[in-house]
Structure 1
């Protein structure tokens, strides 16, 4: 939620800091870049110092970053504070997932992942309306101050309830891999963010994107010849893990684009206020929460392959439905379409996040977790960049200002891209992940 909560508050923050909302979008980018740089090292940190200790320290860093955001008095200090927040967030999410995987019996992992996926679904949708509400009725500073007591409680609960079960691994840090992966992920995320949200001239975004791609290629070459690389790419030799990451990344292109396109369409095409559009888009979060209660039984009944392939089609179809919305469309139809889309995306996220660990041994989970987290961040950033590029090209070709038809085109294209995940999931073995879903394997 914190990566999106300031989006509707940018004008107020910019006015207070004496800068422009366009320039302040660097704070959004700084947060994402910090995530991209430090997520790859989270697995090594968990092995070296213990997942519980790193998790609590990550919350503390996030709290300090939040407080620094609240007291910032310039664009520079605010961007730096957001980057510090991102550093804490980079450790929190993958290490938190790693703790769940290590502490949960395999036959209960689907249910655990279902609950763990709820914040990932609700956060991007809840951030803008909550940020708008706080900024409207209080001041933008409270967006960050409220994190302080919540973070302190989080540190206390983690210390009280999370067991110390780690066998620490004193593995030497792959500094070359850290530098290359950091440059690669940061370059890609920063470049795509700047291109789609023009806070800087386009050539800056294209240049950093090129640097990111080159660094990523160099990291792949480096990892192939190192005994203990920072991110162990040999995990992709496992078909189930590979399908989970690749198929999930293709699908997330749409998930990254929809929160960008939908509120903008409601405001530009429908004339709604930011708060009204935020409340409409939040409908899909209701569907996401609802599906969590039926995820385990559905995977047990139909298996991962069939469930994920079906959800990919349903979710792509729901994205396409957004392309038919007009100001005259009854709200109850919009509610139902967004609700169905939330259900499909929720089930697919739960399945993908669980399936990725089906055939990964316990001593490799600290390697698998940052890989999946990096793939998630990059695919979401690409999704936003694709959506922004579609709107730009559509308005340019048709020679008019941004209007409703441009959003319709964007949703149709994004739906096709997301639907391609079906072909990745359908090639799975029908029994893939049966030890996690509880579904009895076929008799051979």
Structure 2
């Protein structure tokens, strides 16, 4: 919710704090670049103090720095406090995914869907709440994030089971050395290229719509609903029918087309609104499937893979809004979106180099699912025979 809460007030910040769109885009850059770099130390910290304490530390930082941003009186102050906010974000994001994967009863696939469901709900409701609070004051969404993260902090302290540090401590170099593995390096770079396009849209599209905070909140609420629906339901349905690789090709091309449409018709407010809302479907698919791909084909522990992937992709997400602001001011508002479309298409080309790895990961996942189904022996002997045949079939495919 914290991402979406701030988005509807970007134009208001430029007006009320006498800032340029490029300066406002630094809110994304400072936040995401610090998040990216901090991802490199999350495993090191978690392995020394435990996952729960890492989550708590991250939430405390977000509560403090979001409140400080709300109390600030300048765009520079907000940008600086967003950097501290990004440090807390990194500690929380990387560790929460590892905790959910480790504790969910539905296995790895179920954990990813659960994680993306939570993200989808937050992404959908955040802009609406941000628009409501932003219509009162630009400070409202920042205070809103602080209060929400305080609720999350209390819930984490009260309900997340204590997690002692693991027996083996992580090394600071692990996330970077993991990039030696081709499959992880390639999918992480695909994530960077996709996030470049995604955060170009998320960061600069609000300046094209000329809407009030509440109306911007409603636009991104519609966008977020599609993100949630396609992340939870569409991604699984399409993956089962076409596989991870082919579904990702289609969804990435969809994002590129949306960016090209916005870049070409950036002067048409209705076109930009419809394109932004429609992009939610492709964003939802990508959010689930790229995360699943990184985790499933990575040859390193999932906690390390999560940190490595987060580091690489958030670099793209952090630099894209700043580049969009500079390009729009220096050349034209069309250019950032056209470049974003080309960058995302480059991600499609790069993804084809790990096509076979993704297909093998899908086959392995299908085999594991079939094996789990046979673990519970059916009461009916005929059902048991059918289950054994299914397992042999899946094993043969693998």
TM-score range, shorter chain: 0.7 to 0.9
Question: SS state of the match for residue 166, structure 2?
Answer: coil
Gaps of 5+ in 2: 371-393
CA contact (8 A) 2:227 2:283 kept: yes
Aligned pairs (5 A) from 1:177-216? none
How far apart are 1:85 and its partner, in Å?
2.6
| Structure 2 counterpart of 1:235 | 178
Matching of residue 431 in structure 1 with residue 374 in structure 2: no
| Structure 2 counterpart of 1:62 | 62
- The alignment covers a number of residue pairs equal to 367
Question: SS state of the match for residue 343, structure 1?
Answer: helix
CA contact (8 A) 1:247 1:421 kept: yes
CA distance in 2, matches of 1:81, 1:330: 34
CA distance change for structure 1 residues 334 and 256 in 2, over 3 Å: closer, same or farther? Answer: closer
| Structure 2 counterpart of 1:143 | 141
CA distance change for structure 1 residues 425 and 42 in 2, over 3 Å: closer, same or farther? Answer: same
Matching of residue 413 in structure 1 with residue 356 in structure 2: no
CA distance change for structure 1 residues 129 and 160 in 2, over 3 Å: closer, same or farther? Answer: closer
CA contact (8 A) 1:60 1:155 kept: yes
CA distance change for structure 1 residues 265 and 365 in 2, over 3 Å: closer, same or farther? Answer: same
Matching of residue 50 in structure 1 with residue 50 in structure 2: yes
| Structure 2 counterpart of 1:202 | none
Task: Decide which moves more: 274-283 or 352-361.
Answer: 274-283
How far apart are 1:254 and its partner, in Å?
0.7
How far apart are 1:248 and its partner, in Å?
1.6
CA contact (8 A) 1:316 1:419 kept: yes
| Structure 2 counterpart of 1:342 | 280
| Structure 1 counterpart of 2:324 | 387
CA distance in 2, matches of 1:305, 1:150: 36
How far apart are 1:79 and its partner, in Å?
5.5
CA distance in 2, matches of 1:87, 1:49: 17
Matching of residue 308 in structure 1 with residue 248 in structure 2: yes
Gaps of 5+ in 1: 173-227, 396-405
Matching of residue 260 in structure 1 with residue 203 in structure 2: yes
| Structure 1 counterpart of 2:374 | none
Aligned pairs (5 A) from 1:25-424? 29-72=29-72, 81-104=81-104, 108-117=107-116, 130-137=129-136, 139-164=137-162, 168-169=166-167, 171=169, 228-267=171-210, 272-291=211-230, 292-325=232-265, 335=274, 337-360=275-298, 364-395=301-332, 406-407=333-334, 409-424=335-350
RMSD: 3.7
CA distance in 1, matches of 2:25, 2:338: 27
CA contact (8 A) 1:263 1:274 kept: no
CA distance change for structure 1 residues 122 and 443 in 2, over 3 Å: closer, same or farther? Answer: closer
CA contact (8 A) 1:7 1:128 kept: yes
CA distance change for structure 1 residues 132 and 147 in 2, over 3 Å: closer, same or farther? Answer: closer
How far apart are 1:55 and its partner, in Å?
0.6
Question: SS state of the match for residue 299, structure 1?
Answer: helix
CA distance in 2, matches of 1:28, 1:330: 25
How far apart are 1:296 and its partner, in Å?
2.3
CA distance in 1, matches of 2:149, 2:269: 42
How far apart are 1:243 and its partner, in Å?
2.9
Task: State the TM-score, normalized to the length of structure 1.
Answer: 0.69
Higher helix proportion, which one? 2
CA distance in 1, matches of 2:8, 2:237: 38
User: Which digits, 9 at most, give the CA deviation of each residue in 1:48-97, with x for residues without a partner?
Assistant: 11112211222122223333344456778656544433332221111111
Task: State the TM-score, normalized to the length of structure 2.
Answer: 0.76
